[in-house]
Structure 1
């Protein structure tokens, strides 16, 4: 028995059909080094080291294979070092013919490869599955704001992946935040926030898209979104460090030191899509404050916008959103993403930072807004100095000017974005601080 549902729930690929009862036995054919002729795999199983979806057209639609067996694991999962890991995967959905796909571990791959070198190999596959329409059930709870209840701060985690870190850790941290804030408000230890806090447990990406389409007027009142996805990694066991994936700034297009992308890879961002925002530096500051309270100090890193989680639809609709996550986790999307890889202290660090940021945004007075502009001004000065140093290492003067101008524009817009947070009356002090920040930024630019 190579794998069973009880042993590894991820072994069966999404969109697999049932096999005839009590299962089906068939020859296993290694397809990575052969040309597949039409119908040449009929009543056989295609074996591959590639992702099952990538061979589906050749193996199933051309060769008419009854099923696929794949041992593929991305390099960042380190298959040789973790030979029992099986990665989550899927195949395209088709009504007919009925076809299944299994993922196997690297250890099983070594065994199968050895057996196939010795001669013909048969496999027996048994799948019980059915496709039925279902209602997507999600949970959304609110702490309604007392001053501007129509304005929303979203805290969100997706429920539709089966790992302990991805994303039970995000769901659990979000639940603890909601319960703790409710208790503190009910006891009088915290005032009810001025803006509404919306806690959401959702289908990844799809829920937010449905929300935007169904109630665009409500969606447009969102001030910011804080996304929790893989927030509990034990960094020693998994190798995944804590990361803040920033709402798109120029580093998403021009990635220069100290910025760097993760192994997830660069997302698609155009210069016209960049909108300066208060959120990146504000959330980073909240995480820094938490790190000063921990021993050893909590390690915080950032990465440019890449995509792939619930922050994407917010960003695409002009709403600032950050992703709190960990990567590269060697157990990411594998059968070994279990509770023993989760760190309670890491979850607490992320949850405290997210909750503090959400409360700050929900209660931002004019004094708070002024301090936010000052924070952004310091970060802008650092960024301009950093990009000036990067320019010295580049001979493309035209591109250098373009990058510097992009950062100047981004921070000018970031200063302006703070005005939307101010709950205070008047706003003269904030307006004056924004002018000072922008004038200081222009002086820095002229000096360079």
Structure 2
């Protein structure tokens, strides 16, 4: 009972709510965030299949530009801090041509209705796919139940269409070598539930400038074509229209100048490319409304951020990485980064929940208890990759406060990577991802505006802005509150891991291994507490340092109690 009694004493009074530095910002963001604006922008962007440089991508950038201009941001001429609110559109020549789909249709000769068409399945055309001759191409289709290169080489495929229940990328080299004119494929992961969502197709891509076209099939279309092929000779007419042309890549960056330390900043990023509504038109729309509201509050003198706030829209990972790495002096003063990706989910329709993907902490290595990876998949995180920082707990607690206020479900997942938060982390900058998963419509052409919730975008926008405003003007009171929060969160985590390790030892796991897990968690929180020292804009006393020392001591003391109990 020793450990449990000590734990209870340490947590006496934790549930009592006290006024926090974020409360005033919550009032402003809850009142000011217009979810209709976010939804309207999302609806505009989702109309397009967006690839860097193409019509839809550029139209989306210009739409955001108009929002910024109306909100009071002025176009940057000399430098980003020449006015309190500035924006710029960065233009770069593209090494490769851009691409956009126009239309496509597959007909089984002898049937009255198309097997599948672009009008219902715009993801059927892989990125970089070329066009068929005007009027389409008619040819026999060869169904390959198994992909065996040696067997395929024996077949007469010249001038024919290959069909397989596999990703067409596996067949493309074989098709080109054999003289086939096209490839039809199918590739849907289990979490999309294709047997239920039979019209879904996940978008894909193919090698540019290929002599062989490829198309993707939905589960329903795949089954219908398979049945036709198994009955006997099947002939298809395939018509594909795409555009491939030189263009320039656009990135839009908006800045709100900090009043005291303008070079220190918080950076929000939302990628524009991809064809979905939630992925990632919702991120574009939410971030645009966040920028509009920030300008409104700034001009009304309701907020005066002491550090700068940056909003960035561009090509996923590419634009964010470039923003960080092309200016090393700027990068040194980026204190926080956050990616908004798939933030508009109507979870009643898509499944899953809102998630904060944490910076690498020990749960990415030892994923147990309530921690779990999403179907997206775990990253390969080692102890050397851990990133102790208060940012994880700070953002999670802000979101939990909004969740309690709005009856909104907030969860988290261990680090996995794959979005705009990764360039921050790769450059030793604290970075988090706000997203949703599992989404049964992820990357599919059923990710449309009817799956988007304006309320979800509002909750995320409120949480993200409240956190950013709090950090940008953090003082010693903010830092002290963060230390207390971190200590409490750390003690809760240690207790959780202690109970899990006791159970693991009882099931035969080595004691030394379980103690090591506890020690790594303890060190992570102690090291994370140390990062709070840089949080205040101005250091006026030694109060923050003293509170960090005391909290670290409490973490260490409780760790030793738990270690002594593990036998």
- TM bracket, shorter-chain basis: over 0.9
2:522 is equivalent to residue 408 of structure 1: yes
Equivalent residue for 2:531?
417
Cα distance change of structure 1 residues 135 and 445 upon mapping to structure 2, 3 Å threshold: same
Does the 8 Å contact 2:162/2:180 carry over to 1?
yes
Equivalent residue for 1:51?
167
| Residue deviations 1:279-304 (CA, integer Å, cap 9, x gap) | 1111111111111211xx11111100
Equivalences for 1:17-32 in 2 at 5 Å?
17-32=130-145
Structure 2 segments unaligned to the other structure (5+ residues): 1-113, 563-567
CA distance in 2, matches of 1:343, 1:192: 31
2:123 is equivalent to residue 10 of structure 1: yes
Does the 8 Å contact 2:347/2:353 carry over to 1?
yes
Does the 8 Å contact 2:172/2:212 carry over to 1?
no
What is the TM-score normalised by the length of structure 1? 0.95
Equivalent residue for 2:148?
35
CA distance in 2, matches of 1:56, 1:402: 49
Does the 8 Å contact 2:130/2:209 carry over to 1?
no
CA distance in 2, matches of 1:361, 1:46: 56
Q: Decide which moves more: 148-157 or 99-108.
A: 99-108
Aligned-pair CA distance for 1:34: 4.9
Equivalent residue for 2:397?
285
CA distance in 2, matches of 1:65, 1:399: 56
Q: Decide which moves more: 342-351 or 207-216.
A: 207-216
Does the 8 Å contact 2:257/2:309 carry over to 1?
yes
CA distance in 1, matches of 2:513, 2:117: 55
2:199 is equivalent to residue 87 of structure 1: no
User: Which of these two proteins has the greater Rg computed from alpha carbons?
Assistant: 2
| Residue deviations 1:28-62 (CA, integer Å, cap 9, x gap) | 222242533338433222212222234434x3355
Structure 1 segments unaligned to the other structure (5+ residues): none
CA distance in 2, matches of 1:369, 1:267: 31
Given candidates 359, 362, 373, the residue that maps to 2:472 is 362
SS for the counterpart of 2:236 is strand
Does the 8 Å contact 1:52/1:69 carry over to 2?
yes
CA distance in 1, matches of 2:239, 2:549: 68
Q: Decide which moves more: 337-346 or 46-55.
A: 46-55
| Residue deviations 1:368-398 (CA, integer Å, cap 9, x gap) | 0111011000010011111111111221223
CA distance in 2, matches of 1:275, 1:246: 10
Aligned-pair CA distance for 1:126: 2.2
Aligned-pair CA distance for 1:427: 4.0
Cα distance change of structure 1 residues 44 and 402 upon mapping to structure 2, 3 Å threshold: farther
CA distance in 1, matches of 2:331, 2:154: 50
Given candidates 429, 440, 443, the residue that maps to 1:330 is 440
Equivalent residue pairs, number: 442
Equivalent residue for 2:553?
439
Cα distance change of structure 1 residues 250 and 42 upon mapping to structure 2, 3 Å threshold: farther
Does the 8 Å contact 1:39/1:63 carry over to 2?
no
Does the 8 Å contact 2:121/2:200 carry over to 1?
no
CA distance in 1, matches of 2:531, 2:180: 56
Cα distance change of structure 1 residues 423 and 305 upon mapping to structure 2, 3 Å threshold: same
CA distance in 2, matches of 1:355, 1:332: 26
Cα distance change of structure 1 residues 392 and 62 upon mapping to structure 2, 3 Å threshold: farther
